[in-house]
């Protein structure tokens, strides 16, 4: 069996930064460090940080007074920031800078007097965080069909922003429909979909031309991983989202000559290796990697982690 690995795949700069924030906080302040929500959507990552002393909670009310608290890469609503501030919690903010950029863009549009539409998936923590950062009502749109139901006059000044991990193709369709409906609308086109999401989608599209089956390594609740599986399926290649090698069903690859593997932005490479090892248990495997785009993006850590004597702020 030939195995072709997509390039790029796996960790993005925002995920690397978020994990490093928790690890550095544990080293610097000592355990426990409290993390609101899964730092990134991957059980393996969460379990390894738990083993080092991180405590994961869903609500700030679960964080004891004075405990070092980390906000996840997905971002949080302003109410959460204010709550942490009122409680005097020392906070490190692991919100991806590309998510913060969307928050700021949305705030600017609202300050210009525009009604804001957010293209995204209901219930995703990034969407909840973005909606909660904008000091005005935000209209969430998930599909083109929902646009006609928006309670906004067609000639009102409107702007849109998007979740960072959407399907490029689906989002283009939704933006085109918004532009058809509203006569005075502005927005970033698909530029809010982050570089890592776009690069991984391009790579899986290339992969789909070469393989019989696609295995996407990632978590069920990872938005960008789900989009990779959808793109493979839309290209006509059976595509499966699996957390690791233990979830691989041998039936999926029984008749495959070439298996493609990619990984979502929150999946570590060790899990890709785990899937390859599982395939090797089924028969001889030759592994190659597509010559895709090399990523060089890096995000700086919060200043408090680089300067030993700077106390943590109550909010960030
Ligand atoms: S997927 Fe994109 S927006 Fe999300 S953490 Fe990674 S770089 Fe940031």
Per-residue pLDDT of the chain (316 residues; tens, 9 = 90+): 999 999 999 999 999 999 999 999 999 999 999 999 999 999 999 999 999 999 999 999 999 999 999 999 999 999 999 999 999 999 999 999 999 999 999 999 999 999 999 999 999 999 999 999 999 999 999 999 999 999 999 999 999 999 999 999 999 999 999 999 999 999 999 999 999 999 999 999 999 999 999 999 999 999 999 999 999 999 999 999 999 999 999 999 999 999 999 999 999 999 999 999 999 999 999 999 999 999 999 999 999 898 765 566 665 4
pLDDT at 310: 57
**Residues having CB within 6 Å of any atom of ligand 1:** 12-15, 73, 96, 98-99, 164-165, 194, 196-197, 224, 265
Compute φ and ψ for 280, nearest 5 degrees: -65, -25
**Annotated active-site residue in 38, 126, 230, 304:** 126
Instruction: Using most ligand atoms within 8 A of CB, pick from 265, 266, 267 the residue to mutate for ligand 1.
Output: 265
Quote the CA–CA distance of 271 and 245 in Å, as a whole number: 7
Atom of ligand 1 nearest to the CA of 224: 1
Count other C-beta atoms under 10 Å from residue 149's C-beta: 8
Q: Which two tokens stand for residue 95?
A: 């919100």
Q: Can you give the pLDDT at residue 316? A: 47
Q: What pLDDT, on the 0 to 100 scale, is given for residue 306?
A: 80
How many CA atoms, within 13 angstroms, populate the side-chain half-sphere of residue 111? 7
CA angle, 116 as apex, 114 and 118 as ends, to 5°?
160
Say if residues 310 and 29 touch (Cβ distance below 8 Å): no
Is 20 assigned a catalytic role? no
Q: What element of type H or E holds 34?
A: strand 33-36
Rounded CA gap, 51 and 88, in Å? 27
**Taking a C-beta distance cutoff of 8 angstroms, is the pair 80, 125 a contact?**
no
pLDDT of residue 212: 98
Taking CA atoms only, the protein residue closest to ligand 1 atom 2 is 194
Q: What are the structure tokens assigned to 220, written together? A: 């069920």
């Amino acid at each position: 069996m030939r195995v072709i690995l997509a390039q790029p795949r796996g960790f993005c700069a925002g995920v690397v930064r978020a994990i490093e924030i928790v690890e550095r906080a544990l080293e610097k302040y000592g355990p426990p460090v409290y993390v609101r929500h899964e730092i990134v959507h991957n059980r393996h990552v969460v379990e390894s940080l738990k083993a080092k002393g991180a405590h994961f909670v869903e609500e700030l009310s679960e964080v004891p007074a004075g405990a070092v608290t980390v906000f996840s890469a997905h971002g949080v609503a302003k109410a959460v920031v204010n709550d942490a501030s009122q409680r005097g919690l020392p906070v490190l903010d692991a919100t991806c800078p590309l998510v913060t950029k969307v928050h700021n863009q949305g705030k600017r549009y609202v300050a210009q007097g525009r009604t804001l539409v957010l293209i995204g998936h209901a219930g995703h923590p990034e969407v909840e965080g973005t909606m909660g950062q904008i000091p005005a009502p935000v209209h969430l749109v998930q599909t083109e069909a929902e646009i006609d139901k928006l309670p906004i006059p067609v000639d009102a000044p409107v702007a849109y922003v998007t979740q960072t991990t959407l399907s490029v193709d689906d989002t283009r369709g939704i933006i085109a429909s918004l532009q058809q409906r509203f006569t005075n609308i502005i927005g970033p086109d698909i530029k809010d979909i982050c570089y890592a999401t776009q690069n991984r989608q391009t790579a899986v599209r290339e992969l789909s031309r070469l393989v019989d089956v696609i295995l996407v390594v990632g978590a069920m609740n990872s938005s960008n991983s789900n989009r990779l599986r959808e793109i493979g399926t839309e290209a006509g290649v059976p595509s499966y989202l699996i957390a690791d090698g233990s979830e691989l069903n041998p039936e999926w690859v029984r008749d495959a000559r070439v298996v493609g593997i990619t990984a979502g932005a929150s999946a570590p490479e060790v899990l890709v290796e785990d899937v390859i090892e599982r395939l090797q248990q089924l028969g001889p495997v030759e592994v190659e990697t597509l010559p895709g785009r090399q990523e060089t993006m890096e995000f700086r850590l919060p200043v408090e982690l680089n300067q030993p004597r700077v106390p943590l702020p109550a909010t960030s």
